[in-house]
Amino acid sequence: MSDAAEPVKRLVTPVRIEYRYTPGIAATKFLKAIAQGKLVGQRCPVTGKVYIPPRGASPTHGVPTEEEVEVSDKGTVVTYTIVRVPSENIELELPYAAAQILLDGADIPFSALLQEVVVEDVRIGMRVQAVWRPKEEWGPTFENIEYFKPIDEPDVPFEQFKEHL
């Protein structure tokens, strides 16, 4: 190689692998239900706790969760954060709140974004409800729920959900 040759300073090696992913029995039931506008979790046969979205196992006991339980699309904000930096896959206007929402009837919180609220008003214990996209757009996806919005119900005291953070 000639001394005059430019040294290699950069190497671009694109990598792409495609997967055909299937979510499993429990998540398939959840996705089929959400395509019908229903939120369906599964109950641990030992503790009675309801997990949503379900992954097929009780994480505390390692046993299958088979009993399906429909939960409400209303819930309580158990924690939240204010997002002030843009994200590639979220087109909402900044700032917005991302929250963990304990749906009524569930025992673990569900992640969702909040809208129709000024971020300064978001608080732990606040009652919210899902805003669904038009029915004709529903599919087996979380995206059927556009966001959650506050509803006119009194805040829930921390004591009532402290076991569900």
Which residues of this protein are in contact with another protein, per CB under 8 A? 11, 13, 15, 17-27, 55-64
**The amino acid at 84:** R
Query: Closest approach of Cβ 14 to another protein, in Å?
Result: 9
Task: Give me the least distance between CB of 51 and another protein, in Å please.
Answer: 9
Residue nearer to another protein on the CB measure, 14 or 154? 14
Query: Rounded distance, CA 101 to CA 111, Å?
Result: 6
Residue 96 amino acid letter: Y
Q: Which is nearer to another protein, 13 or 84 (CB)?
A: 13
Alpha helix positions (H), 8-159: 25-34
**Shortest Å, Cβ 63 to another protein:** 7
At 80, is the secondary structure helix, strand, or coil? strand
Kindly report the number of other CB atoms within 10 A of residue 153's CB atom.
Answer: 12
Q: Quick one: 1 or 118, whose CB is closer to another protein?
A: 1
Q: Cα(134)–Cα(140) distance, rounded to whole angstroms?
A: 14
CB of 1 to another protein, least distance (A): 16
Concatenated DSSP letters of 121-132: G--TT-EEEEEE
| Closest CB to another protein among residues 59, 157 | 59
The encoded tokens of residue 1 equal 């190689």
Give all strands of the β-sheet with 39-43 in edge-to-edge order. 50-51, 39-43, 67-71
What minimum distance in Å lies between the beta carbon of 18 and another protein? 7
Closer Cβ to another protein, 4 or 12, answer by number: 12
